[in-house]
A and B are shown apart, each in its own frame.
Chain A
Amino acid sequence: MDSVFAAIVQAPEDPILGVTVAYNKDQSPVKLNLGVGAYRTEEGKPLVLNVVRKAEQLLVNDQYRVKEYLPILGLAEFNKLSAKLILGDDSPAIQRNRVATAQCLSGTGSLRVGAEFLAKHYHEHTIYIPQPSWGNHLKVFTMAGLSVKTYSYYDPTTRGLNFRGLLEDLGAAPAGAVVLLHACAHNPTGVDPTVEQWEQIRKLIRSKGLLPFFDSAYQGFASGSLDADAQPVRMFVADGGECFIAQSYAKNMGLYGERVGALSIVCKAADVASRVESQLKLVIRPMYSNPPIHGASIASTILKNSDMYNEWKIELKAMADRIISMRKQLFDALTAKGTPGDWSHIIKQIGMFTFTGLNGDQVAFMTKEYHIYMTSDGRISMAGLSSGTVPHLADAIHAAVTRAS
């Protein structure tokens, strides 16, 4: 019998997650997975934070806990604490009830719900994303019904920020267009604007009436400080303007698979926030009805308990510090080997990822000859490195750069 699904073709493997699929198939003992941005310990193992285990123990011991449906917008306590985390405990926007928050499925879910909301309720359906950006951004926004354009961001010659290009491109955007901003630790480049540059970006965005949409996936994970990593977002909120914020707890709490995140929409007035909130429910209900309880309960438990919150900050800083240390070690190794080129971007860039500047051919070579798994744009996840594996990576990069093409 002919299938009704006969016309359906095989979809290509997701480029980022597909790297892990390929890695798993490789039998080499020296293989290295620098693909997905998931933190690894010095021993190369995934990490469940101690404070997360503690929180779970508390939840399991609570005999009154039930598994009833959460409200459509999720766990109220979690939403309040999430908004405070990104905006600051004393945020006037929160105090004045100008923030509508919905618990969503990690960063992706928060972005998608926000984008669907914009497609439904906002008159401008164009969103500008940096060039390059996380591979899934384009798909998320397109599927939500927005049209995606790019603004200049990465400068391959300096392996840093193309600030002039950024200002020009955003300056040319139509009034009201949405602009995606990586709050910190830009993915995939690791290149962030300085505080002064952020201020100029803010002024430009406000003067053109562009709508900022922050993707905050690394708060605390980039510099080790929750407040420092939230600064760009807070600058925008402090000027009284509106913005969208997608938060993820995948990396900073290590809750990847639990899918914990939040979408906050900062509005000019409380009554607007209240109406926005009601409309968010109509976006979420036909998508998945209400969000999953487990991860949000863990996050909430940690955020509201000051001892656990402090413990979390310490574990978070340890993760960030280890990554910063890997950057230094890789840079030193390449310097020691005399690998041609300027590799200082490795220590200038911030967060989980480094945009090495290696091209597709070089990446393919490294995978084939050295069993290094990474995305073809030259991005490596520093979180996947250890002191023990840095030398192997340095060898691979050196070989890739120096081989005759």
Chain B
Amino acid sequence: MASSVLSLASAGPSASLSSNGIEKGKLNLGNCFKKEKTNLFLKTKSVGRISMVVASDVSRFEGITMAPPDPILGVSEAFKADNHELKLNLGVGAYRTEELQPYVLDVVKKADKLLLEKGENREYLPIEGLAAFNKVTAELLFGADNPVIKQQRVATVQGLSGTGSLRLAAALIERYFPGAKVLISSPTWGNHKNIFNDARVPWSEYRYYDPKTVGLDFEGMIADIKEAPEGSFILLHGCAHNPTGIDPTPEQWETIADVIQEKNHIPFFDIAYQGFASGSLDTDAASVRMFVARGMEVIAAQSYSKNLGLYAERIGAINVVCSSSDDAARVKSQLKRIARPMYSNPPVHGARIVASVVGDAALFKEWNAEMEMMAGRIMNVRQKLFDSLSSKDKSGKDWSFVLRQIGMFSFTGLNKAQCDNMTNKWHVYMTKDGRISLAGLSLAKCEYLADAIIDSYHNVS
């Protein structure tokens, strides 16, 4: 029995709180009903709302506002729209060749062909992902001979690259450590805050970048970590800090570990560049391994987007190193419980590529060589940029931070107005925090970039 009920519900604002306490007002226009073509009749609702015939068809989502473009991904979109011949995209952190083309690793092409030949089925993976992948990913990060692996103390779950793996961990923290805070570096990758906000995990910042030295504010970092409530989660970039490119030294890492242990904090590593920073998988994992060697419990999110160039395949993992294998088994079961209502089970293709490459000695060796090549190109570009800046800039400003920073990104120290100048005058696209992606820079363009940076730094305030 169908009935036509026509009423205009009253509009009312409703507020929602994000986890860092900012109130967001939402205006909803309630429900407006489409006029029935036959049998119109009016009904007064029992809650006392006045009913009337509605002529217009208003969407129930009319009140939704246009979201601002993603600051990082939005840069590429703006770049595409620019027709200037000298334009340079130093926005997204995706590796480019010297010819500024995207790069699919040879080992990945080989693996793709192999997989096609093998013709394996497409059945659902288990919720925790491909077993072969989980095995090699943990071994890659911690070292195959690491006692934590032998003792089965690592809960590893395949995740949707770095973002997805971080999100699983964030959900675990929200559920099992209610009220616990995550401390993130100031600055950090822009999406970290979004992840913790959406997961409803409170966060605060620890000092990290020192604009005076364009280096690490180590004292500030240590002081802020010490001050955090006991049992906080400290988000650390395992290597190649994004966006600054500034990493602690090995000695500084030891001190950071000391403080974290003192305060019973939990180290939470985001490792998106293992092998991509220095060219060596082991060197880039040194910080994580040092914490683990101290017997600490550690959370570590991994991504294969950059080091295997598998950006769009969304392949990564969340690892939780626990005190015992029993703890690890239980933690793993709860990570699965979080993944199931999010996407059920992870995508198989990228996982099989990683497992193929890492599992085959010849392919693994080739991969190491390609990774050295990519990291090497970035180091060469850093050198050339530094040389260009030093020779062109007569002011005596010290540009050596370009060489000290590591990985795909450099924090130039440019402020927002200066960044706008970079884009508007020089057609150099970068994020407004002053970050440039060296991966998007060629040797051929270093001089042009140096000119742009020098102009923006000295002539714009």
Contacts and interface: CB of A to CB of B under 8 A. Distances in A.
B106 interface: no
Contacts of B297: 3-5
A17 B126 contact: yes
Given A5-B331, A65-B104, A287 B163 contact: yes
Contact of B195 (A2, A256, A286): A286
A240 B348 CA distance: 38
Interface string A9-51: 1110010010000000000000000001010000000111000
A377 B58 CA distance: 42
B349 interface: yes
Interface in A227-272: 239-242, 250, 254-259, 265, 267-269, 272
B61 A121 contact: yes
B392 interface: no
Given A5-B322, A11-B334, A272-B64, A285 B102 contact: no
A14 B342 contact: no
B67 A278 contact: yes
Given A10-B333, A123-B30, A203-B2, A267 B191 contact: no
A257 B341 contact: no
A4 B155 CA distance: 14
Q: How large is the interface on A (under 10, 10 to 19, 20 to 34, 35 or more residues)?
A: 35 or more
A149 interface: no
A76 interface: no
Pick from B1, B231, B336 the residue with the most CB of A within 10 Å: B1
Interface string B36-67: 10000000000000000000011111101111
A354 B396 CA distance: 79
Contacts of B5: 175, 207-209
A176 B31 contact: yes
Contacts of A143: 341-342
Interface residues of B, number: 93
B188 interface: no
Interface in B363-401: none
A152 B163 CA distance: 39
B147 interface: no
B73 interface: yes
A105 B198 CA distance: 18
Contacts of A6: 327
Chain B interface helix/strand/loop/mixed: loop
B116 A57 contact: yes
Given A17-B126, A286-B191, A294 B313 contact: yes
B327 A3 contact: yes
Nearest to A261: B343
A312 to B, nearest CB: 15
A404 interface: no
A3 B324 contact: yes
A67 B112 CA distance: 12
A207 B191 contact: no
Nearest to B312: A293
A106 B4 contact: no
A380 interface: no
Contacts of B36: 206-207
A250 B104 CA distance: 27
Contacts of B102: 66-68
Contact of A257 (B92, B177, B266, B348): B348
Contacts of B419: none
Contacts of A206: 33-34, 36
A108 B327 CA distance: 28
Interface in B101-124: 102, 104, 108, 112-113, 116, 119, 121-124
Interface in B1-52: 1-5, 7, 9, 14, 16, 26, 28, 30-34, 36
Contacts of B161: 288-289
B246 interface: no
A322 interface: no
Contacts of B432: none
B70 A285 contact: yes
A72 B70 contact: yes
A69 B311 contact: yes
B336 A109 contact: no
Given A3-B327, A11-B333, A207-B33, A108 B341 contact: yes
Given A69-B92, A176-B31, A292 B124 contact: no
A256 B126 CA distance: 11
A399 interface: no
A37 B125 CA distance: 13
A267 B343 CA distance: 25
Contact of A5 (B64, B176, B231): B176
Given A72-B73, A268-B57, A109 B124 contact: no
B57 A67 contact: no
B176 A294 contact: no
A258 B34 contact: no
Interface string A56-79: 110010000111111110000000
A8 interface: yes
Contact of B64 (A121, A136, A259, A283): A121
B309 interface: yes
Interface string A121-148: 1110000000000001001101110000
Contacts of B327: 3, 5-6, 8
B330 A10 contact: yes
A292 B349 contact: yes
Nearest to B338: A143
Contacts of A56: 116
A256 B345 CA distance: 9
B350 interface: yes
A106 B113 contact: no
B127 interface: yes
Nearest to B36: A207
Interface string A89-124: 000000000000000011111001000100011110
Interface of A: 1-11, 14, 17, 36, 38, 46-48, 52-53, 56-57, 60, 65-72, 105-109, 112, 116, 120-123, 136, 139-140, 142-144, 167, 171, 175-176, 200, 203-204, 206-209, 211, 239-242, 250, 254-259, 265, 267-269, 272, 274-276, 278-279, 281-283, 285-295
9 contacts: A8-B330, A14-B127, A46-B123, A106-B344, A108-B341, A140-B342, A268-B59, A275-B65, A281-B67
Interface of B: 1-5, 7, 9, 14, 16, 26, 28, 30-34, 36, 57-62, 64-67, 70, 73, 92, 94, 102, 104, 108, 112-113, 116, 119, 121-127, 160-161, 163-164, 167, 176-177, 191, 194-195, 197-199, 231, 264, 266, 295, 297, 305, 309-314, 320, 322-324, 327, 329-331, 333-334, 336-337, 340-350
Query: Can you list the 5 inter-chain pairs with the closest CB atoms, starting with the nearest?
Result: A257-B348, A293-B312, A288-B160, A286-B194, A105-B343
Given A171-B1, A275-B61, 9 more contacts: A1-B295, A17-B126, A17-B127, A72-B73, A108-B343, A275-B66, A281-B70, A289-B164, A289-B191
